[in-house]
A and B are shown apart, each in its own frame.
Chain A
Amino acid sequence: MIEAIDIHKSFDDKEILKGISAGFEKGKTNLIIGQSGSGKTVLLKSLVGLHDITSGDIRYDGHSFLELDNTAKKRLRQDIGMLFQGSALFDSLTVEENIRFPLDMFTNWSLEKKRERANFCIDRVKLENANNKFPSEISGGMQKRVAIARAISLNPKYLFCDEPNSGLDPRTAIIIDELIQEITKEFDMTTIVNTHDMNSVMGIGEKIIFIYQGHKLWEGTKDDIFHVQNKELEDFIFASKLFKKIRDNNI
């Protein structure tokens, strides 16, 4: 369980997050949705401490993140896996080395054991014949898989995904979404996913919060999202003609 309590975040004088409170539940894929520029990435990076928030509090299973000392913070970080918007793979390392990297840094395992674990993660995300390729040599969809494999290599309790399926074709996007949901259940993680893709919302949105210009305007599940009376949220959902059609024909 991760809680955000009245988070404010400004860059210089520009306030990006204007008081966001939300709870993200364990064993579920929690979605943060909102249009481009609404502050999703800033919120996600604030939750993991990549941005220092201006005010408010962040709690991981009841412990305030801001009160942790450096050692405790470091220990917590090893329980966090994160998938970045652009994958953020280390381009000087091969696929296998990328996935092994957290193990190299934080375990004293033998090379054999580390490779075994890396290959387990590689199989889990269904990557084939890519171990010795460099990130620049594989497709965007495969890069996302590598990033997921790297994020789960240390068996994290918390998984953060910043637009995991942006830039992917619709089919691959769904596969990646489903992979994230399966892994969340399988390892009982608290997963938070940023997205502006309605397909993801309908596919894996167990708990959803909607961000608009730095405010949280709505929170709920994919089942009640179509019945909300909120202009901004409706504009967001029905921006796509397809969803408009679905609503108008009451499918």
Chain B
Amino acid sequence: MRIFFHLGRYCLFLKKVFGKPEKHSVFIKQIVREVDKLGIDSLGIVIIISVFMGAVITLQTAYNIDLPIIPKYTVGLAARDSILLEFSSTIVGLILAGKVGSNIASEIGTMRVTEQIDALEIMGINPAGYLVLPKVVAFVFIIPALVTISMAVGIGGGYLAGSITGEVPGPEYIYGIQYAFQPFYIVYALSKAVVFAFIISTISAYWGYYVQGGALEVGKASTQAVVASSVQILLFNLILTQLLLA
């Protein structure tokens, strides 16, 4: 039953979030700030994780395809496809749910319990729209860039790991990642990422917005936000895969 309560309140919340912004100049400024805070600040972790995951995926594939009749370049091909299809969208999405989701939920939750949201409301500002819309717009806008960077860096990580260990020589890997390349995979990954960005930013904001109590509850809400966004990401990953790839 709780789930229906949350679903209903989440829909009403979205309606408030997508109200007309108070003032365009202020809105644009906020978006720029959020792009910096949610996007640029996540770049570091996305790059680090992508390099290592790309390297590990490549090495694991190389060790598993040990038959001499299978050419080495297939490793590049397999690594490329895992990175494009799953890793750079879903795994990066889950990681960002942790980083960006908890950030949004705790920021908005703190504003709720310290009455800053009431203060906005009393001034005649729609707090949900004012606080959340810039985050949603900024994050949806910036995530394709993060995912594209993750793809490039991940594939680069695979190249390095392959050539340093000698498991997959550089030229073979390069040949592999170009072999039977399907540009649609990139469209697929970026579409998923945009949906995930929407899920992460709105669900986390929702949990923060309705916090009641104090610091303890803000902490709980931020955990809830990460859990709920992650579950939805997995669910929508399944749905979108069926819709886009079937």
* A contacts, CB < 8 Å to B: 45, 48, 50, 73-78, 80, 82, 84-86, 88-91, 101-102, 104-106
A86 and B26 contacting across the interface, CB-CB below 8 Å: no
Q: How far is the CA of A84 from the CA of B124 in the complex (A)?
A: 16
Q: How far is the CA of A104 from the CA of B116 in the complex (A)?
A: 17
**Is B48 engaged at the interface, CB distance under 8 Å to the other chain?**
no
Contacts of B23 on A, CB cut-off 8 Å? 104-105
**Is B121 engaged at the interface, CB distance under 8 Å to the other chain?**
yes
**Which residues in chain B, 114-128, are within 8 Å of chain A measured between CB atoms?**
114-116, 118-119, 121-125
A106 and B124 contacting across the interface, CB-CB below 8 Å: yes
Q: Given that A74-B124, A104-B26, A105-B123 are contacting pairs, would A45 and B116 also be in contact in the complex, using a CB cutoff of 8 Å?
A: no
Q: How far is the CA of A76 from the CA of B124 in the complex (A)?
A: 8
Q: How far is the CA of A232 from the CA of B94 in the complex (A)?
A: 57
Q: How far is the CA of A76 from the CA of B122 in the complex (A)?
A: 10
A90 and B116 contacting across the interface, CB-CB below 8 Å: yes
Q: Given that A105-B22, A105-B23, A105-B26 are contacting pairs, would A84 and B123 also be in contact in the complex, using a CB cutoff of 8 Å?
A: no
Q: Given that A105-B22, A105-B26 are contacting pairs, would A45 and B118 also be in contact in the complex, using a CB cutoff of 8 Å?
A: yes
B114 and A88 contacting across the interface, CB-CB below 8 Å: yes
Q: How far is the CA of A106 from the CA of B124 in the complex (A)?
A: 9
A78 and B123 contacting across the interface, CB-CB below 8 Å: yes
Q: How far is the CA of A77 from the CA of B122 in the complex (A)?
A: 6
Query: B168 to nearest A CB, angstroms?
Result: 48
Q: How far is the CA of A237 from the CA of B116 in the complex (A)?
A: 32
Interface 1/0 per residue, B16-56 and A, CB below 8 Å: 00000011001000000000000000000000000000000
Q: How far is the CA of A78 from the CA of B122 in the complex (A)?
A: 8
Q: How far is the CA of A134 from the CA of B237 in the complex (A)?
A: 42
Tally the A-B contacts, defined by beta carbons under 8 Å. Answer: 46
Q: How far is the CA of A202 from the CA of B212 in the complex (A)?
A: 34
Query: A151 to nearest B CB, angstroms?
Result: 9
With CB as the reference atom, state the residue of chain B lying closest to A90.
B116
Q: How far is the CA of A104 from the CA of B239 in the complex (A)?
A: 43
- Could you list 24 examples of A-B contacts with CB < 8 Å? A45-B118, A48-B122, A50-B118, A73-B124, A74-B124, A76-B124, A78-B123, A78-B124, A80-B122, A82-B122, A84-B118, A85-B115, A86-B114, A86-B115, A88-B116, A88-B118, A90-B111, A90-B116, A102-B123, A104-B23, A105-B123, A105-B125, A106-B123, A106-B124
B115 and A84 contacting across the interface, CB-CB below 8 Å: yes
Contacts of B125 on A, CB cut-off 8 Å? 105
Most chain A beta-carbon neighbours within 10 Å: one of B22, B111, B123: B123
Contacts of B26 on A, CB cut-off 8 Å? 104-105
Extra contacts besides A74-B124, A86-B115 (13): CB < 8 Å: A76-B124, A77-B123, A82-B119, A82-B122, A85-B115, A88-B115, A89-B116, A91-B116, A101-B123, A102-B123, A104-B23, A105-B26, A106-B124
B119 and A84 contacting across the interface, CB-CB below 8 Å: yes
Interface 1/0 per residue, B218-238 and A, CB below 8 Å: 000000000000000000000
Q: How far is the CA of A194 from the CA of B125 in the complex (A)?
A: 24
**Which residues in chain B, 56-75, are within 8 Å of chain A measured between CB atoms?**
none
With CB as the reference atom, state the residue of chain A lying closest to B126.
A74
With CB as the reference atom, state the residue of chain A lying closest to B107.
A92
Most chain B beta-carbon neighbours within 10 Å: one of A48, A88, A90: A88
Contacts of A86 on B, CB cut-off 8 Å? 114-115
Q: How far is the CA of A84 from the CA of B23 in the complex (A)?
A: 25
Contacts of B123 on A, CB cut-off 8 Å? 77-78, 101-102, 105-106
Query: A145 to nearest B CB, angstroms?
Result: 16
Interface 1/0 per residue, B126-158 and A, CB below 8 Å: 000000000000000000000000000000000
With CB as the reference atom, state the residue of chain A lying closest to B123.
A102
Contacts of A104 on B, CB cut-off 8 Å? 23, 26
Q: How far is the CA of A77 from the CA of B124 in the complex (A)?
A: 5
Contacts of A88 on B, CB cut-off 8 Å? 114-116, 118-119
Q: How far is the CA of A88 from the CA of B116 in the complex (A)?
A: 5
3 cross-chain pairs, A with B, having the tightest CB-CB distances, nearest first: A77-B124, A88-B115, A88-B119
Interface 1/0 per residue, B91-125 and A, CB below 8 Å: 00000000000000000000100111011011111
Query: A73 to nearest B CB, angstroms?
Result: 8
Q: Given that A104-B26, A105-B23 are contacting pairs, would A50 and B122 also be in contact in the complex, using a CB cutoff of 8 Å?
A: yes
Query: B127 to nearest A CB, angstroms?
Result: 11
With CB as the reference atom, state the residue of chain A lying closest to B37.
A92
Query: B133 to nearest A CB, angstroms?
Result: 15
